Amino acid sequence: MKKTNLISLLILILLGTTSCEELFEYHPNQIRLESDERDLTAKNLVRLQKQNPGDTLRILVMGDTQRFYDDAVEFVKQANTFENIDFVIHQGDISDFGMTQEHKWVHDIMEHLKWPYLTVVGNHDLLANGSKVYQKMYGPLNYSFTYGHTKFVFVDTNSREYGFDGSVPDINWLRKEVYQREDEDFTQAIVVSHVPPYDADFDGNLEDAYQNVLESSKKVKLSLFGHIHNWHSNHVYDNHILYHGTTTVKKRGFTYLKVWADGFDIQMINY
């Protein structure tokens, strides 16, 4: 046995492996991210704020990618045929098993969009150590931003994942966000969540409070959600607030939303 042969074999193995950064996986729940896979919410908001919002905002809304990557690729192709879109909303359940690799694959697909995309956390994204994954990769579970005349409020409503402990959704946070502060100027607020408030996965003890906050703010006319894997559009609480659910990419549908200062228009696109 020539020891040199064995040594060179080992060297070649090492060469083959180090030329590839994801050849080794230490654990399915490891949270190993490249620098361009971190803080995506903040990064996309920076991109967004560099754009000039017009009188009419144009937004594509999709979601529940879970493990349906081929369908997500198709969505991106379809979406990119549109023009003058401001940004894309992912309604949550980015992943199926709450594993980092799934988020990385979805981001790898979504970053081919011509516009920034923003996400809200879904219940699947909170499985295992998914909450840590989401916060490292995207950012806070609750966040908001104002773009043009409209404020967008993304809120974690996956109460079941927290054992219905009364903390989710965070009503106090939500109240501060949808009520206009003195230093703010927006004509309407759109609340984006994964689970709708009338769903069994939403904390029933918080349903009234949640919907009261939205109504009494006098700013919310529209709330977007995913989770149900179907289209659903209804004035659920017999008031002026429309709850609009977008189907999953697996069913090849997304919403084309136009927003102006005091109104909006919804088109359901099937592809």
How many residues bind other proteins (CB under 8 A)? The answer is 47
Choose between 97 and 145: whose C-beta lies nearer to other proteins.
Answer: 97
Residue 27 near other proteins by CB under 8 A: yes
Three-state secondary-structure class, residue 168? coil
Of 14-22, 39-47, 110-118, 167-175, the segment contacting other proteins by CB under 8 A is 14-22
Residue 1 near other proteins by CB under 8 A: yes
Residue 163 near other proteins by CB under 8 A: yes
Residues 237 and 90: their CA atoms lie apart, in Å, by: 25
Q: What's the DSSP call for residue 86?
A: -
| Residue for token pair 């940004």 | 87
| Residues of span 142-161 touching other proteins by CB under 8 A | 160
Residues 80 and 61: their CA atoms lie apart, in Å, by: 13
Choose between 60 and 99: whose C-beta lies nearer to other proteins.
Answer: 99
What is the helix (H) or strand (E) element at residue 144, kind and residue range? strand 143-147
Choose between 132 and 232: whose C-beta lies nearer to other proteins.
Answer: 132
Cα–Cα–Cα angle for 224, 130, 109, rounded to 5 degrees:
65
Helix, strand, coil in percent for the chain, rounding step 5: 35, 20, 45
Residue 4 near other proteins by CB under 8 A: no
Choose between 70 and 184: whose C-beta lies nearer to other proteins.
Answer: 70
Contacts for 225 with CB less than 8 Å, ≥ 6 apart: 91, 157, 192, 193, 194, 195, 196, 243, 244, 245, 246
Of 48-56, 121-129, 226-234, 251-259, the segment contacting other proteins by CB under 8 A is 121-129
What is the helix (H) or strand (E) element at residue 264, kind and residue range? strand 263-270
Residue 127 near other proteins by CB under 8 A: yes
Q: Residue length, the chain? A: 271
Closest distance between other proteins and the C-beta of residue 46, in Å? 23
Choose between 84 and 200: whose C-beta lies nearer to other proteins.
Answer: 200
| Cβ atoms of residues 124 and 98 within 8 Å | yes
Choose between 22 and 55: whose C-beta lies nearer to other proteins.
Answer: 22
| Residues of span 85-114 touching other proteins by CB under 8 A | 96-102, 105, 109
| Residue for token pair 């003195």 | 182
Binding site for other proteins (CB under 8 A): 1-2, 5-6, 9, 12-13, 16-17, 19-20, 22-33, 67-70, 72-73, 96-102, 105, 109, 124, 127-129, 132, 136, 160, 163, 200
